[in-house]
A and B are shown apart, each in its own frame.
Chain A
Amino acid sequence: MTGTLTRRVPVRSRTFSRLLDLRLLAVCLGAVAVGLVATALSVSLGEFPIPLGDVAATLVGAGSRTDEFIIVGLRLPRALVGLGCGMALGVSGLIFQTLVRNPLAAPDVIGVTGGASLTGVAILILGAPPAVLPVGAFVGAVASASLVYALAWRGGLSPYRLVLVGIALAAAFAAGTSYLLVVGDLIDVQRAAVWLVGSLNGVTWDEFWPLVVGLVVLFPATAALTRALDALSLGEESAVALGVPVQRARLGLVVVAAALAAFAVAASGPIGFVAFIAPHIARRLTGLTGASALPAAALVGGVLVMVCDLVARLVLAPIELPVGTVTAVVGAPFFLYLLYRANRPVGGG
């Protein structure tokens, strides 16, 4: 991890200045390249393989009607929704991890995703029209985030209480979800079980557009809060000393991170582990800590979901696994590895 020289270049005009990290830039460009390859493969591979040449032809409007249906109607929205969900989850996870100063934090750990799962399953089991599902999941995520926040608030928000309250509520939501799965009709329960793992099966442009709107609003909001996030990661006292409006900034960050997770869950169901692993991978690759790794966390998250979904589609073809099974297979060992590392006594002194 160490020993790699981070090269940085100041970029300045009269009204604008940044310190550009070349390694971050390289990681982002690399992720974009992998993402493009993954998109191409996602669109090309499947039960009816379409050669890349025909893919290109279709995209410029010169393909056959079947190809166009498969690519533009089925595979492209699926790839793009995967990308968008992964980006949202990567950013959400990095914000939560930095804010509560705990590498094990993520929207799935602190109850946001749990609330969305509960409302989503309720909708599927109680037989509401399927079109309501994303809305219900979104409302569930936002409501549970608000509940966690309200219960953790005591004259101010302590990140530690936020995590504890979140874990407790996540358990309660999981109990509610289990109850619904036990009492539900078998066919509904099966659909709910697939949705609960997080799945991009059958995703269309209808899931894509709300997600894009969410990202277009929330990514700039995130960018506006990154400096406060970095200051907050030095602890509350240092943040106050640096002139950060601590409670306002924390509220803004929790809202943004929870909303990002909500949009992702609404589009695809709760895809596990992505919000948790993507920031770690991004930090490893860039050698950066805190908010400066955000662009990399977004791209790594997006590419991760896309690649996992490709694997989920192909590995047992013609059966399509929910993408969440693949992210869990990748994520669970990684989680254990981090737990192992976190529990090791820190040396030095």
Chain B
Amino acid sequence: MSLRADGLTLGYGGDPVVADLSLELPAGAITAIVGANACGKSTLLRGLARLLAPRSGAVLLDGTELAKLGTREVARRLGLLPQSPAAPEGLTVEDLVARGRYPHQSWLQQFSRDDQDHIEWALEVTDTAGLRRRALDQLSGGQRQRAWIAMALAQDTETLLLDEPTTFLDMAHQVEVLDLLADLNREQGRTVVMVLHDLNQACRYADHLVAMDRGRIHAQGPPADVVDAAMVRAVFGLDVRIVPDPEEHTPMCVPARRRRRRSEVAPGAATGDARHEPLAPDPS
């Protein structure tokens, strides 16, 4: 199972958001796509998930262009969790998860034993079995996100694409969701590709890091090889110190203090960068 972008150009009318991008996503690994706001990371994921048709280039699944495969066929191999999915009012967790079985069902077969087994497994592994009869709109953000992941898992695809799965979650729920994805990758060998907001989380959970800048890949590889102060400054426009994560020994970025940033950063090192946003006032 391999997913690959080949000379991919994506956009929404206007200038391309992702330009001539080629990328091989390692099978059986966790890939995190990171970058500043509007760098094209979510757009790239949308392109990989065929939500956005390429202007040029192609996304290849095991060597075949996505556009040439039937959408159902793709859905059996490639799952997606959108950024802020919406469920109809009153939909229960159980019914949501069951909808993940769509690409495996037919009009006659709508609840095969196989369907039931996969639904039960997805509820179990995401720890949502106890919530199965609850309506999604009554759940906490973390519970709801787990239910959506369960739906994507019930789809039983080798590859799972997730667009910022931790956004809007508090810290405990963020860790919970990422741990779950790590377990799925380790225990089941599933390929996980996710857009992440938090670079430190990406370093910790990803085997392969893709750093994007203005629609192109700035750097990619194992986090330990890719993440250094120069990369973070180039991609995020932020001066940081890199220290080892005390838990996992992966690289961890600690933003430099504002005063030091002013005095120690050589003049001109970060000027002319439009992505430098004015520093926020003291948060307190």
Contact = CB atoms under 8 A, between A and B. Distances in A.
A233 B88 CA distance: 6
Nearest to A98: B88
A245 B134 CA distance: 29
A37 interface: no
Interface in B77-107: 78-80, 82, 85-92, 95-96, 98-100, 102-103, 105, 107
A289 B110 contact: no
A61 to B, nearest CB: 40
Contact of A227 (B90, B95, B102, B112): B102
B50 A17 contact: no
Contacts of B110: 17-19, 227
Interface in A231-274: 231, 233-235, 237-238, 240-245
Nearest to A11: B111
A231 B102 contact: yes
Interface string B130-147: 000111011001000000
Contacts of A237: 49, 51, 80, 82, 85
A234 B87 contact: yes
Contacts of B75: 241-243
A241 B79 contact: yes
A101 B88 CA distance: 7
Given A12-B113, A17-B110, A348-B138, A242 B102 contact: yes
A10 B86 contact: no
B115 interface: yes
B33 to A, nearest CB: 17
Nearest to B112: A17
A283 B135 CA distance: 13
Interface string B49-75: 111000000000000000000111111
A11 B108 CA distance: 11
Contacts of A227: 102, 105, 107, 110
A289 B95 contact: yes
Contacts of A290: 88, 91, 95
Contacts of B99: 230-231, 234, 242
A338 to B, nearest CB: 11
Given A16-B108, A290-B91, A244 B71 contact: yes
A128 interface: no
Contacts of A242: 75, 99-100, 102-103, 155
Interface residues of A, number: 40
Interface in A15-58: 15-19
Nearest to A224: B107
A283 B95 CA distance: 14
A63 interface: no
A237 B71 CA distance: 13
A243 B152 CA distance: 12
A1 B91 CA distance: 12
Contact of B72 (A101, A243, A288): A243
Contact of B49 (A240, A245, A292): A240
A234 to B, nearest CB: 6
A15 B108 CA distance: 7
A283 B90 CA distance: 9
Interface string A165-182: 000000000000000000
B76 interface: yes
Contacts of B113: 12, 17
A199 B44 CA distance: 56
Interface in A194-235: 223-224, 227, 230-231, 233-235
B159 to A, nearest CB: 11
Given A231-B102, A238-B85, A17 B90 contact: no
A243 B76 contact: yes
A222 B99 CA distance: 18
B109 interface: yes
A6 interface: yes
A11 B71 CA distance: 28
B37 interface: no
A1 B155 CA distance: 29
A103 B70 CA distance: 33
A318 interface: no
Nearest to B161: A241
B103 A243 contact: yes
A234 B116 contact: no
Contact of A16 (B80, B109, B116): B109
Contact of A241 (B82, B91, B135): B82
Contacts of A349: 141
B112 to A, nearest CB: 5
Nearest to B114: A17
B49 to A, nearest CB: 6
A2 interface: yes
Interface string A267-305: 000000000000000010001111010000000000000
- Closest 10 A/B residue pairs (Cβ): A243-B75, A241-B80, A243-B72, A243-B103, A237-B82, A19-B111, A242-B102, A17-B111, A243-B71, A289-B91
25 contacts: A12-B111, A12-B112, A16-B109, A17-B111, A17-B115, A98-B88, A101-B88, A227-B105, A230-B99, A230-B102, A234-B85, A234-B86, A235-B86, A237-B49, A237-B80, A242-B99, A242-B155, A243-B76, A245-B71, A288-B95, A289-B89, A289-B90, A346-B137, A348-B137, A348-B138
Interface of A: 1-2, 5-6, 10-12, 15-19, 98, 101, 103, 223-224, 227, 230-231, 233-235, 237-238, 240-245, 283, 287-290, 292, 346, 348-349
Given A101-B86, A234-B96, A237-B80, 15 more contacts: A2-B135, A17-B113, A18-B111, A19-B111, A98-B88, A223-B107, A230-B102, A233-B87, A233-B88, A233-B91, A234-B87, A234-B99, A240-B71, A244-B102, A287-B90
